[in-house]
Amino acid sequence: MDQLTAKELGKKTQLASLELGIESAEVLGGCIGGYSCAYSNTFSWRNAATPLPMENQPRRVFERLFGDSESTDSAEQRRSIEDNHSILDFMIGETSRLLSRLGPSDRTKVNQYLEAIRDVERRIQLTELQSAAPLPKVERPNSIPATFTEHINLMFDLQVLAFQADLTRVSSFMVGHEMSSESYPEIGFADPYHAVTHHQGDLGKIAKCTQINTFHIQRFAHLLERLKSTPDGDGSLLDHSMILYGSPLSDGNMHLTNNLPVLIAGGASGQIKGGRHIRYTTDTPMTNLFLTMLDKLDVHVDSIGDSTARVEL
Protein backbone atom coordinates (compact mmCIF):
# COMPACT_ATOMS: atom_id res chain seq x y z
CA MET A 1 0.00 0.00 0.00
CA ASP A 2 2.76 2.46 0.89
CA GLN A 3 4.61 1.90 -2.38
CA LEU A 4 1.46 2.24 -4.48
CA THR A 5 1.01 5.58 -2.75
CA ALA A 6 4.68 6.51 -3.16
CA LYS A 7 4.53 5.83 -6.89
CA GLU A 8 1.86 8.52 -7.21
CA LEU A 9 2.63 11.07 -4.47
CA GLY A 10 6.39 10.68 -4.98
CA LYS A 11 6.09 12.56 -8.27
CA LYS A 12 5.84 15.77 -6.23
CA THR A 13 8.64 15.24 -3.69
CA GLN A 14 12.39 14.60 -3.57
CA LEU A 15 11.93 11.21 -1.86
CA ALA A 16 9.16 8.91 -2.99
CA SER A 17 9.00 7.31 0.46
CA LEU A 18 10.84 6.90 3.74
CA GLU A 19 11.21 3.52 5.47
CA LEU A 20 12.17 3.68 9.14
CA GLY A 21 12.73 1.13 11.88
CA ILE A 22 14.18 0.69 15.35
CA GLU A 23 15.95 -2.65 15.05
CA SER A 24 18.67 -3.73 12.59
CA ALA A 25 17.95 -2.95 8.94
CA GLU A 26 19.37 -6.32 7.81
CA VAL A 27 16.95 -8.24 5.53
CA LEU A 28 19.23 -11.08 4.38
CA GLY A 29 19.60 -14.62 5.67
CA GLY A 30 17.11 -17.21 6.93
CA CYS A 31 14.69 -16.79 9.81
CA ILE A 32 11.77 -18.83 11.16
CA GLY A 33 10.82 -21.84 9.07
CA GLY A 34 13.69 -21.20 6.67
CA TYR A 35 11.95 -18.18 5.17
CA SER A 36 13.98 -15.13 4.24
CA CYS A 37 14.45 -12.65 7.07
CA ALA A 38 13.03 -10.02 4.72
CA TYR A 39 9.54 -11.22 5.73
CA SER A 40 10.32 -10.57 9.39
CA ASN A 41 12.44 -7.45 9.16
CA THR A 42 10.42 -5.22 6.82
CA PHE A 43 6.81 -4.71 5.77
CA SER A 44 7.53 -2.35 2.90
CA TRP A 45 7.91 -3.95 -0.55
CA ARG A 46 8.50 -2.11 -3.82
CA ASN A 47 6.97 -5.11 -5.62
CA ALA A 48 6.34 -8.79 -4.94
CA ALA A 49 10.07 -9.62 -5.03
CA THR A 50 11.78 -6.45 -3.74
CA PRO A 51 11.80 -5.75 0.03
CA LEU A 52 12.79 -2.28 1.23
CA PRO A 53 15.02 -2.23 4.34
CA MET A 54 13.92 -0.15 7.30
CA GLU A 55 16.64 2.36 8.21
CA ASN A 56 17.26 2.52 11.96
CA GLN A 57 20.28 4.86 11.99
CA PRO A 58 19.15 8.45 12.71
CA ARG A 59 22.27 9.92 11.06
CA ARG A 60 21.62 8.09 7.80
CA VAL A 61 18.00 9.25 7.79
CA PHE A 62 19.11 12.82 8.43
CA GLU A 63 21.67 12.72 5.62
CA ARG A 64 19.13 11.24 3.23
CA LEU A 65 16.76 14.11 4.02
CA PHE A 66 19.16 17.04 4.30
CA GLY A 67 22.39 15.91 2.63
CA ASP A 68 25.67 14.62 4.05
CA SER A 69 27.20 18.00 4.76
CA GLU A 70 28.30 18.66 8.35
CA SER A 71 26.45 21.96 8.14
CA THR A 72 22.69 22.50 8.18
CA ASP A 73 23.14 25.97 6.70
CA SER A 74 20.84 26.51 3.70
CA ALA A 75 23.66 27.95 1.53
CA GLU A 76 25.84 24.88 2.06
CA GLN A 77 22.92 22.57 1.35
CA ARG A 78 22.33 24.48 -1.89
CA ARG A 79 26.01 24.10 -2.88
CA SER A 80 25.74 20.35 -2.31
CA ILE A 81 22.63 20.26 -4.50
CA GLU A 82 24.43 22.16 -7.26
CA ASP A 83 27.39 19.75 -7.12
CA ASN A 84 25.05 16.78 -7.53
CA HIS A 85 23.38 18.48 -10.48
CA SER A 86 26.70 19.06 -12.30
CA ILE A 87 27.65 15.39 -11.78
CA LEU A 88 24.32 14.36 -13.24
CA ASP A 89 24.86 16.57 -16.30
CA PHE A 90 28.26 14.95 -16.80
CA MET A 91 26.74 11.46 -16.64
CA ILE A 92 24.07 12.32 -19.20
CA GLY A 93 26.71 13.70 -21.58
CA GLU A 94 28.83 10.57 -21.32
CA THR A 95 25.89 8.21 -21.87
CA SER A 96 24.65 10.26 -24.84
CA ARG A 97 28.02 9.84 -26.57
CA LEU A 98 27.94 6.15 -25.78
CA LEU A 99 24.52 5.70 -27.43
CA SER A 100 25.87 6.48 -30.88
CA ARG A 101 28.20 3.48 -30.67
CA LEU A 102 25.66 0.90 -29.44
CA GLY A 103 23.34 -1.56 -31.15
CA PRO A 104 19.52 -1.43 -30.77
CA SER A 105 19.33 -3.81 -27.80
CA ASP A 106 22.05 -2.03 -25.82
CA ARG A 107 20.57 1.36 -26.68
CA THR A 108 17.28 0.23 -25.16
CA LYS A 109 19.05 -0.72 -21.93
CA VAL A 110 20.92 2.58 -21.78
CA ASN A 111 17.73 4.53 -22.51
CA GLN A 112 16.04 2.77 -19.60
CA TYR A 113 18.94 3.87 -17.43
CA LEU A 114 18.62 7.43 -18.75
CA GLU A 115 14.96 7.47 -17.76
CA ALA A 116 16.03 6.72 -14.21
CA ILE A 117 18.61 9.52 -14.43
CA ARG A 118 15.95 11.93 -15.69
CA ASP A 119 13.84 11.07 -12.66
CA VAL A 120 16.78 11.93 -10.40
CA GLU A 121 17.29 15.19 -12.30
CA ARG A 122 13.65 16.12 -11.74
CA ARG A 123 14.06 15.50 -8.02
CA ILE A 124 17.20 17.63 -7.90
CA GLN A 125 15.32 20.44 -9.65
CA LEU A 126 12.61 20.13 -7.01
CA THR A 127 15.32 20.34 -4.37
CA GLU A 128 16.65 23.56 -5.89
CA LEU A 129 13.19 25.10 -5.85
CA GLN A 130 12.56 24.03 -2.28
CA SER A 131 16.01 25.16 -1.11
CA ALA A 132 14.93 28.77 -1.67
CA ALA A 133 12.55 28.36 1.27
CA PRO A 134 13.97 28.13 4.81
CA LEU A 135 14.26 24.56 6.06
CA PRO A 136 13.11 23.64 9.59
CA LYS A 137 15.82 24.21 12.20
CA VAL A 138 17.39 20.79 12.81
CA GLU A 139 20.28 19.42 14.81
CA ARG A 140 22.44 16.73 13.27
CA PRO A 141 21.88 13.44 15.17
CA ASN A 142 24.75 11.13 16.01
CA SER A 143 24.61 7.36 16.65
CA ILE A 144 21.61 5.34 17.86
CA PRO A 145 20.45 6.78 21.23
CA ALA A 146 20.94 4.75 24.39
CA THR A 147 17.27 4.14 25.20
CA PHE A 148 14.31 2.98 23.14
CA THR A 149 12.37 6.13 24.07
CA GLU A 150 15.13 8.44 22.85
CA HIS A 151 15.62 6.40 19.69
CA ILE A 152 11.98 6.18 18.64
CA ASN A 153 11.29 9.82 19.53
CA LEU A 154 14.23 10.92 17.39
CA MET A 155 13.05 8.79 14.46
CA PHE A 156 9.53 10.19 14.83
CA ASP A 157 10.96 13.73 14.87
CA LEU A 158 12.88 13.06 11.65
CA GLN A 159 9.67 11.72 10.13
CA VAL A 160 7.85 14.93 11.08
CA LEU A 161 10.67 17.05 9.61
CA ALA A 162 10.41 15.13 6.34
CA PHE A 163 6.69 15.91 6.16
CA GLN A 164 7.14 19.51 7.32
CA ALA A 165 9.69 20.26 4.59
CA ASP A 166 7.61 18.26 2.07
CA LEU A 167 10.62 16.07 1.30
CA THR A 168 8.30 13.05 1.20
CA ARG A 169 4.61 12.40 1.78
CA VAL A 170 4.84 8.67 2.44
CA SER A 171 6.58 6.97 5.34
CA SER A 172 6.53 3.50 6.94
CA PHE A 173 7.85 2.82 10.44
CA MET A 174 8.48 -0.68 11.84
CA VAL A 175 8.75 -0.41 15.63
CA GLY A 176 9.91 -4.02 16.04
CA HIS A 177 10.72 -7.08 13.96
CA GLU A 178 8.59 -10.19 13.99
CA MET A 179 9.88 -12.48 16.78
CA SER A 180 11.76 -9.51 18.21
CA SER A 181 13.95 -10.10 21.24
CA GLU A 182 13.83 -6.38 22.08
CA SER A 183 13.45 -5.54 25.77
CA TYR A 184 12.57 -2.27 27.52
CA PRO A 185 14.43 -1.98 30.85
CA GLU A 186 13.39 1.69 31.07
CA ILE A 187 9.85 0.59 32.02
CA GLY A 188 11.05 -1.52 34.94
CA PHE A 189 11.85 -5.00 33.59
CA ALA A 190 14.04 -6.53 30.90
CA ASP A 191 11.96 -9.49 29.70
CA PRO A 192 12.06 -9.73 25.86
CA TYR A 193 8.79 -8.66 24.27
CA HIS A 194 8.39 -11.84 22.24
CA ALA A 195 8.75 -14.00 25.35
CA VAL A 196 6.02 -12.22 27.32
CA THR A 197 3.58 -12.36 24.39
CA HIS A 198 3.77 -16.16 24.69
CA HIS A 199 2.38 -15.90 28.22
CA GLN A 200 0.35 -19.18 28.22
CA GLY A 201 -2.07 -17.57 30.64
CA ASP A 202 0.58 -16.46 33.13
CA LEU A 203 -0.89 -13.32 34.73
CA GLY A 204 2.53 -11.84 35.44
CA LYS A 205 3.57 -12.10 31.79
CA ILE A 206 0.19 -10.76 30.65
CA ALA A 207 0.70 -7.71 32.89
CA LYS A 208 4.17 -7.13 31.39
CA CYS A 209 2.81 -7.50 27.87
CA THR A 210 0.17 -4.88 28.69
CA GLN A 211 2.88 -2.56 30.02
CA ILE A 212 4.89 -2.89 26.81
CA ASN A 213 1.85 -2.27 24.62
CA THR A 214 0.98 0.79 26.71
CA PHE A 215 4.59 1.98 26.43
CA HIS A 216 4.45 1.64 22.63
CA ILE A 217 1.21 3.59 22.31
CA GLN A 218 2.64 6.34 24.53
CA ARG A 219 5.58 6.64 22.14
CA PHE A 220 3.14 6.81 19.21
CA ALA A 221 1.39 9.67 21.03
CA HIS A 222 4.68 11.60 20.78
CA LEU A 223 4.42 11.47 16.98
CA LEU A 224 0.80 12.62 17.06
CA GLU A 225 1.62 15.52 19.39
CA ARG A 226 4.47 16.64 17.12
CA LEU A 227 2.22 16.51 14.06
CA LYS A 228 -0.56 18.31 15.91
CA SER A 229 1.78 21.12 16.99
CA THR A 230 3.23 21.64 13.50
CA PRO A 231 1.24 24.20 11.44
CA ASP A 232 0.40 23.22 7.90
CA GLY A 233 -1.77 25.41 5.67
CA ASP A 234 -5.14 26.00 7.30
CA GLY A 235 -4.49 23.45 10.05
CA SER A 236 -1.76 21.15 11.32
CA LEU A 237 0.22 18.30 9.81
CA LEU A 238 -2.01 15.94 11.80
CA ASP A 239 -5.11 17.46 10.21
CA HIS A 240 -3.67 16.75 6.78
CA SER A 241 -2.24 13.30 7.47
CA MET A 242 -3.59 9.75 7.65
CA ILE A 243 -1.61 7.45 9.94
CA LEU A 244 -2.19 3.74 10.37
CA TYR A 245 -0.99 2.11 13.61
CA GLY A 246 -1.36 -1.59 14.28
CA SER A 247 0.00 -5.11 14.40
CA PRO A 248 -0.25 -8.25 12.25
CA LEU A 249 -1.43 -10.20 15.32
CA SER A 250 -4.36 -9.71 17.69
CA ASP A 251 -3.04 -12.37 20.11
CA GLY A 252 0.69 -13.06 20.20
CA ASN A 253 0.23 -16.07 22.46
CA MET A 254 -1.94 -17.92 19.93
CA HIS A 255 -0.62 -16.16 16.78
CA LEU A 256 -4.16 -15.07 15.90
CA THR A 257 -4.40 -12.89 12.80
CA ASN A 258 -8.12 -12.06 12.93
CA ASN A 259 -9.91 -9.19 14.70
CA LEU A 260 -6.82 -6.98 14.49
CA PRO A 261 -6.80 -3.86 16.69
CA VAL A 262 -6.04 -1.02 14.29
CA LEU A 263 -5.86 2.71 14.95
CA ILE A 264 -6.13 5.41 12.30
CA ALA A 265 -5.10 8.93 13.33
CA GLY A 266 -5.25 12.22 11.49
CA GLY A 267 -7.96 13.98 9.55
CA ALA A 268 -6.84 13.17 5.99
CA SER A 269 -7.74 16.77 5.09
CA GLY A 270 -11.29 16.42 6.36
CA GLN A 271 -11.96 12.99 4.87
CA ILE A 272 -11.97 11.03 8.15
CA LYS A 273 -14.32 11.50 11.08
CA GLY A 274 -12.41 10.86 14.31
CA GLY A 275 -13.36 9.79 17.82
CA ARG A 276 -14.98 6.53 16.75
CA HIS A 277 -14.59 2.80 17.35
CA ILE A 278 -15.69 0.93 14.23
CA ARG A 279 -16.30 -2.80 14.40
CA TYR A 280 -16.35 -4.37 10.93
CA THR A 281 -18.05 -7.65 10.07
CA THR A 282 -16.24 -10.89 10.86
CA ASP A 283 -13.43 -11.86 8.48
CA THR A 284 -13.28 -8.46 6.77
CA PRO A 285 -9.84 -8.47 5.06
CA MET A 286 -7.38 -5.88 6.36
CA THR A 287 -6.72 -5.05 2.71
CA ASN A 288 -10.30 -3.70 2.44
CA LEU A 289 -9.17 -0.93 4.79
CA PHE A 290 -6.02 -0.40 2.71
CA LEU A 291 -8.13 -0.07 -0.42
CA THR A 292 -10.30 2.57 1.27
CA MET A 293 -7.27 4.50 2.51
CA LEU A 294 -5.78 4.50 -1.00
CA ASP A 295 -9.00 6.02 -2.34
CA LYS A 296 -8.70 8.90 0.13
CA LEU A 297 -5.17 9.52 -1.18
CA ASP A 298 -6.47 9.64 -4.77
CA VAL A 299 -4.58 6.43 -5.52
CA HIS A 300 -7.25 4.29 -7.12
CA VAL A 301 -6.71 0.57 -7.73
CA ASP A 302 -9.26 -2.19 -8.32
CA SER A 303 -7.88 -4.40 -5.58
CA ILE A 304 -4.90 -4.97 -3.31
CA GLY A 305 -3.93 -8.40 -1.97
CA ASP A 306 -7.04 -10.30 -0.88
CA SER A 307 -9.33 -7.25 -0.76
CA THR A 308 -13.00 -7.78 -1.58
CA ALA A 309 -14.58 -4.32 -1.19
CA ARG A 310 -14.24 -0.86 0.33
CA VAL A 311 -15.20 -0.24 3.96
CA GLU A 312 -16.84 2.68 5.76
CA LEU A 313 -14.18 5.01 7.18
Least confident of 39-53, 108-122, 216-230: 108-122
Q: Where are the domains of the chain?
A: 2-67+139-296, 73-134
pLDDT at residue number 191: 94
Nearest to 267 by CA among 288, 242, 247: 242
pLDDT tens readout for residues 93-111 = 777 778 888 888 788 766 7
pLDDT tens readout for residues 18-29 = 999 999 876 656
Average pLDDT taken over every residue of the chain: 84
Greater confidence, 222 or 47? 222
Q: Is the pLDDT of residue 138 over 70?
A: no
Which residues, including other chains, have CB under 8 Å from residue 117's CB and lie 6 or more apart?
88, 91, 92, 95
* Model pTM score: 0.79
pLDDT at residue number 120: 46
Within 10 angstroms of residue 243's Cβ, the number of other Cβ atoms is 17
Strand partners, 55: 20
Q: How confident is the model at residue 180 (pLDDT cuts 50, 70, 90)?
A: confident
- % of residues, the chain, pLDDT over 70: 80
Q: Is the pLDDT of residue 251 over 60?
A: yes
Q: Is the pLDDT of residue 143 over 50?
A: yes
Nearest to 205 by CA among 218, 217, 191: 191
Mean pLDDT of 77-97: 59
Mean pLDDT of 182-209: 94
- Cα(258)–Cα(268) distance, integer angstroms: 26
pLDDT at residue number 94: 74
pLDDT at residue number 60: 86
